[in-house]
């Protein structure tokens, strides 16, 4: 038997995870995605089962990301952003209301992602894309409009 190729999660499950992490609510994620809360919850349970970890703490007053959820989120954001970029490359837009922000995965998951809902609500005309990667970027060749890097104080 040769090496088995791992089966990747569906993009629908990844989008459900991204939206739920952004809103910290399965209900609000369902509204964003045009699905039922039950469908979002089901997709996240299947994703957690496939990964063998809990991505969310389910509490009486809502949900929060677990440590594995915070670890996984920047990778999901980057993967979905790359798919969106590929989609856009095939169907160029006539407007240039796209803002691509590069930041570290830690900054994305702990500070930026929790604030994206407010930004999107205030600036619905801007197509915001997050590239969560630890490498520094060059603005000329990477398609990045803005980069945020954080260095801790000694």
Q: Does 6 map to a domain? A: no
What is the span of the domain harbouring residue 90?
A: 11-148
Q: Does 52 map to a domain? A: yes
Q: Which residues contact 43 (CB under 8 A, 6 or more apart)?
A: 10, 12, 13, 16, 17
Query: pLDDT tens, 118-145?
Result: 888 888 888 888 887 777 777 766 778 8
Q: Which own/partner contact pairs does 88-96 have at CB distance under 8 Å and 24+ positions apart?
A: 93/127
Q: What is the pTM of this model?
A: 0.59
Query: pLDDT tens, 45-92?
Result: 999 999 999 999 998 888 999 999 999 999 999 999 999 888 877 876
Q: Does 48 map to a domain? A: yes
CATH assignment of the domain containing 27: 1.10.10.10
Q: Does 2 map to a domain? A: no
Q: Does 120 map to a domain? A: yes
Count of domains for the chain = 1
Q: Is residue 6 very low, low, confident or very high in pLDDT (cuts 50, 70, 90)?
A: confident
Q: Does 3 map to a domain? A: no
* Confidence (pLDDT) at 18: 95
Q: Does 93 map to a domain? A: yes
């Amino acid at each position: 038997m040769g090496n088995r190729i791992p089966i990747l999660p569906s993009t629908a499950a990844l989008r459900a995870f991204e939206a739920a992490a952004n809103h910290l609510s399965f209900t609000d994620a369902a509204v964003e995605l045009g699905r039922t809360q039950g469908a979002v919850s089901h997709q996240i349970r299947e994703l957690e089962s496939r990964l063998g970890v809990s991505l969310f703490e389910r509490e009486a007053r809502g949900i929060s990301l677990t440590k594995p959820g915070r670890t996984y989120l920047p990778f999901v954001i980057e993967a979905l952003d790359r798919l969106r970029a590929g989609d856009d490359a095939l169907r160029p837009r006539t407007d240039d209301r796209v803002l691509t922000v590069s930041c570290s995965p830690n900054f994305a998951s702990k500070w930026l992602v929790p604030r994206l809902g407010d930004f999107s609500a205030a600036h619905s005309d801007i197509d915001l894309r997050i590239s969560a990667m630890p490498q520094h970027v060059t603005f000329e060749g990477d398609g990045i409009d803005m980069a945020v890097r954080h260095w801790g104080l000694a």
